[in-house]
A and B are shown apart, each in its own frame.
Chain A
């Protein structure tokens, strides 16, 4: 379960998030949509404690992330897999070591087990041949798949995906969403997916939250969203379908 209660974030006098509240029950997938700069990525970073809110509370299961110190946050982050918008792949190691990195850091698997898990995950994302390549030698789509593999290699029960298909072609986009669905199904993972791919989000998510200038403008079931009279939501869905 993920819950935000009245979260406000102010930077340089600007309210980037204003009294944001919503929750994602265990096992559900939430589509977090909105125009660029609405605060979607900030919400994901708040959930995993990478940034702190000025007021309000953030919960991941029973843990109040907004009140934990960095050492305790590590235990919460272990339950989360994060796909970063701009990949955030480590440029000092190859693809295989990028994927193995969280497993080596958590330190409770043998080298053989880590190697087997990395191999399995890389084969799921069709990147077995790229294991020894440096990330700088990969295309955008390949980088996204490495990022997805690294985020999910430890089978996290919570997945946060920040625009996992940004800038990708439609075929790769479909492949990434299919992978996400498969990996979620394997772990019955709770997920928040930020994306502008309306059709893919409709298939993948149970609920939708629309952010407008840092405020929650709509929060409802995905099945009701298409029929909603909410202007912003209609505009988003119609533009997405037209694309």
Chain B
């Protein structure tokens, strides 16, 4: 019961911070240089991690799909065509979201948390810089730019790793593997929408955890753990919800 209460309080806190950030964005935009620097930081911090994890997961997905296809149909020619929409709308944004939550969310929570416990956030407020304007807003815009870019990179890496592994394991012709026939505009729209939502929410959740930090270094540690747990859960839950809504909007699997 207390876990439910905690989750509810967290969700309310994040929703309030999200609304404050939206209001702050309407009041004034942060300097472009600050946003680009943050976006570069988010991208740079995550790109290698994402290339490696999504590369391996793409290889595993294609290998297992090929293995089953060969066993059931004796034909692996449609592996690339079948796995691309799954990667684009489902695994790509979700895994990128999880990696960004781990790699970037923890960084944001630790940075803001340590600023809270050393009273730097109070000092910011005394100097006319609200924490939402100065700390949250640029990071949200950076996430909005970087996560969709990482989704493209990660999905591409996973699919290309699949090409390599299916060629090695099943001698699938690369020209046959590169088949876009089963990938629809709706798949791309769903994947992009998820990446945008995660790009906004992960920095907000991480910043919320950081701003809740109390005490000393122990409080910062708790905030960091809280950030990665909450952001990862949010990615998984929203992935299912957005997927279900998109499925309904498309009118089922056939569309």
Contact = CB atoms under 8 A, between A and B. Distances in A.
A121 B106 CA distance: 38
B119 A77 contact: no
A105 B131 CA distance: 13
B129 interface: yes
A101 B127 contact: yes
Interface residues of B, number: 12
A91 to B, nearest CB: 7
B120 A88 contact: yes
A102 B118 contact: no
Contact of B126 (A48, A70, A86, A89): A48
Interface centre among B118, B123, B124, B127 (most CB of A within 10 A): B127
Contacts of B128: 74, 77-78, 102, 105-106
A98 B110 CA distance: 21
B120 A105 contact: no
Contact of B122 (A78, A80, A84): A84
A50 B122 contact: yes
Contact of B119 (A74, A78, A88): A88
A176 to B, nearest CB: 18
A150 B130 CA distance: 17
Contacts of B120: 88-91
A87 B216 CA distance: 15
A213 interface: no
B125 interface: yes
Interface in B92-144: 118-120, 122-130
Interface centre among B122, B123, B124, B125 (most CB of A within 10 A): B123
Contacts of A150: 123, 127
A82 B127 CA distance: 9
A82 B124 CA distance: 11
B125 A86 contact: no
Contacts of A101: 127, 129
A70 B128 CA distance: 10
Contacts of B127: 101-102, 105, 150
A117 interface: no
Q: What are the nearest 9 A-B pairs in CB distance?
A: A88-B119, A105-B128, A88-B123, A102-B127, A82-B126, A105-B129, A101-B127, A50-B122, A105-B127
Interface of B: 118-120, 122-130
